[in-house]
């Protein structure tokens, strides 16, 4: 297998390691646990440190096992380069740490993962201005842009209410204005959607979720799609301008975020994530079909007040989701009608596990307002449309009929 032929998504992911020599004919990139890398020639060590020659310096800045995963994710996103981090939040934090300065301005979707929302609150207290807008309409993003806007940040599908950003139109706007467009692709994954197709300059993936898929390893990644002209970004330090312009952004991120803040992905976790990625497409096909079946059942039940899933025709962004995504994802949320206690309902489920994660092979459920969004307070939750009875569901790969029956029997009881 070589880069000269275009293969399908799973074939490319499955065989990506073999496009480079692997020790002893192994089919998987081995787990390299060494933190240090020695050179017989001290001059060669110096050239590696100076960036004049590829190589490994120290485990915090790179590792052969992690590099193999970076290459795999990069192929998934059809990117220019990818950097992996210890978690998805470390990847998002790297964008902030490496690229933003006091006085900069960010336009962000208001419909965000709870920890990302918390991060923007922290950044806002450190001198970066944050405008939170309804990104389902590009007009709201355009109205918020200022001369000092450096980044527009959106998620593909919001967690947990599943709002879908006006992805293509925002991408076009950012291209016209020379603004870096950062898209968190976690809720869709590279299999269901490639943000590069709508003009994203940087793509974020929480590898913990659908890419790893088994809830046994943390990880995150940033992919430079090659679409953004870093010559237009004012915060690049002179030391990184010795590289070709297309490499400026990731060179600065690898040094000022990964190296300096040390959110490094370990080789053992990288191996788990790489092996999990091999079956991502197979898992997601099943999970998306399961999610649609359960969401349709719940929407038809009079005891359910609302169901939020882009695959439902009632969803406000169903049309744009159908246009952009291969399928509608494995996550949905729903509200029970007054008089039905969400905790009692969850406790009656036999298959849904009360736990906080997404993209797992098992179906996971959680009462949103009382757990992952509790810290932000009732007022902020209300502004995001998060009801006190809202239940988030990350559907797994169980048999479809079993899941539909389980969510139904919990209502019947």
Per-residue pLDDT at 2:
61
Per-residue pLDDT at 376:
77
Concatenated DSSP letters of 266-306: PHHHHHHHHHHHTTHHHHHHHHHHHHHHHHHHHHT-TTEEE
| Rounded (10°) angle between helices 400-412 and 280-299 | 30
Place of tokens 């940040």: 153
Per-residue pLDDT at 1:
58
Radius of gyration over every alpha carbon of the chain, rounded to an integer in angstroms: 22
List b or e across 255-291, with b for residues whose CB sees 16 or more CB atoms inside 10 angstroms.
bbbbbeeebbbbbebbbbbbbbbbbbbebbebbbbbb
Contacts 24+ apart (CB under 8 A), 310-319: 310/157, 310/162, 310/164, 315/162, 316/136, 316/163, 317/136, 317/163, 317/164
- What residues in the chain have per-residue pLDDT under 50? none
Stated as kind and residue range, the H or E segment containing 14 is helix 9-15
Place of tokens 């099943």: 286
Closest CA to 177 of 130, 107, 82: 107
Closest CA to 141 of 106, 93, 90, 89: 106
Q: How far apart, in Å, are the Cα atoms of 76 and each of 153, 221, 284?
A: 21, 12, 14
Dihedral Cα 317, 279, 399, 326, nearest 10 deg: 20
Q: What is the pLDDT of residues 71-107, one digit of tens each?
A: 999 999 999 999 999 999 999 999 999 999 999 999 9
| Helical H segments across 38-197, by residue range | 42-49, 64-77, 88-99, 114-124, 138-144, 167-177, 189-192
**What six digits make up the tokens of 326?**
């291969």
Q: How far apart, in Å, are the Cα atoms of 177 and each of 80, 123, 141, 146, 149?
A: 22, 23, 12, 10, 10
Rounded CA gap, 32 and 106, in Å?
Answer: 38
End-to-end CA distance of the chain: 54
Closest CA to 359 of 287, 305, 412: 287
Per-residue pLDDT at 396:
97
Concatenated DSSP letters of 80-98: SEEEEESSHHHHHHHHHHH
Per-residue pLDDT at 316:
98
Segments of 328-377 assigned E as strands:
331-336, 353-354, 364-367
Q: Which residues contact 412 (CB under 8 A, 6 or more apart)?
A: none
Q: How many residues does the chain have?
A: 413
CB-hemisphere CA count at 13 Å for 132?
14
Per-residue pLDDT at 348:
97
Per-residue pLDDT at 95:
97
Dihedral Cα 55, 57, 62, 63, nearest 10 deg: 80
Rounded CA gap, 243 and 193, in Å?
Answer: 30
Q: How far apart, in Å, are the Cα atoms of 160 and each of 113, 114, 141, 352, 373?
A: 7, 9, 21, 17, 10
Rounded CA gap, 188 and 210, in Å?
Answer: 8
């Amino acid at each position: 297998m070589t880069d000269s032929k275009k293969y399908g998504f799973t074939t490319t992911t499955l065989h990506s390691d073999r496009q480079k020599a692997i020790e002893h004919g192994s089919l998987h990139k081995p787990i390299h646990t060494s933190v240090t890398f020695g050179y017989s020639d001290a001059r060669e060590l110096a050239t590696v440190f100076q960036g004049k020659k590829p190589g490994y310096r120290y485990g915090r800045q790179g590792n052969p096992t992690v590099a193999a995963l970076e290459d795999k994710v990069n192929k998934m996103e059809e990117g220019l380069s990818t950097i992996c981090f210890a978690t998805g939040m470390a990847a998002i934090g790297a964008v902030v740490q490496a690229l933003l300065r006091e006085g900069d301005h960010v336009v962000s979707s208001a419909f965000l993962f709870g920890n990302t929302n918390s991060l923007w609150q922290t950044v806002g207290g450190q001198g970066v201005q944050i405008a939170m807008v309804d990104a389902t309409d590009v007009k709201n993003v355009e109205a918020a842009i200022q001369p000092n806007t450096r980044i527009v940040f959106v998620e593909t599908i919001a967690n947990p209410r599943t709002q879908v950003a006006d992805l293509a139109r925002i991408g076009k706007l950012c291209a016209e204005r020379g603004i870096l467009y950062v898209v968190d692709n976690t809720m869709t994954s590279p299999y269901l959607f490639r943000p590069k197709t709508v003009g994203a300059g940087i793509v974020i993936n929480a590898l913990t979720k659908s890419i790893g898929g088994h809830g046994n390893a943390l990880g995150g990644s940033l992919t430079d799609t090659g679409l953004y002209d870093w010559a237009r970004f004012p915060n690049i330090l002179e030391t990184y301008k010795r590289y070709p312009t297309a490499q400026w952004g990731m060179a600065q991120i690898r040094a000022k975020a990964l190296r300096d803040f040390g959110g490094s992905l370990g080789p053992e976790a990288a191996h788990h994530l790489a092996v999990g990625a091999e079956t991502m497409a197979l898992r997601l096909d099943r999970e998306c079909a399961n999610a649609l079946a359960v969401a349709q059942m719940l929407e038809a039940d009079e005891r359910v007040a609302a169901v939020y899933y882009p695959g439902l025709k009632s969803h406000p962004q169903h049309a744009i989701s159908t246009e952009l995504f291969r399928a509608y994802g494995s996550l949905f949320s729903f509200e029970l009608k007054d008089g039905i206690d969400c905790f009692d309902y969850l406790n009656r489920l036999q298959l849904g596990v009360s736990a906080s994660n997404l993209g797992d092979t098992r179906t996971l459920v959680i009462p949103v307002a009382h757990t992952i969004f509790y810290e932000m307070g009732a007022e902020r939750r209300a502004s995001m449309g998060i009801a006190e009875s809202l239940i988030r569901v990350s559907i797994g790969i169980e048999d479809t009929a079993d899941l539909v029956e389980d969510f139904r029997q919990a209502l019947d009881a």
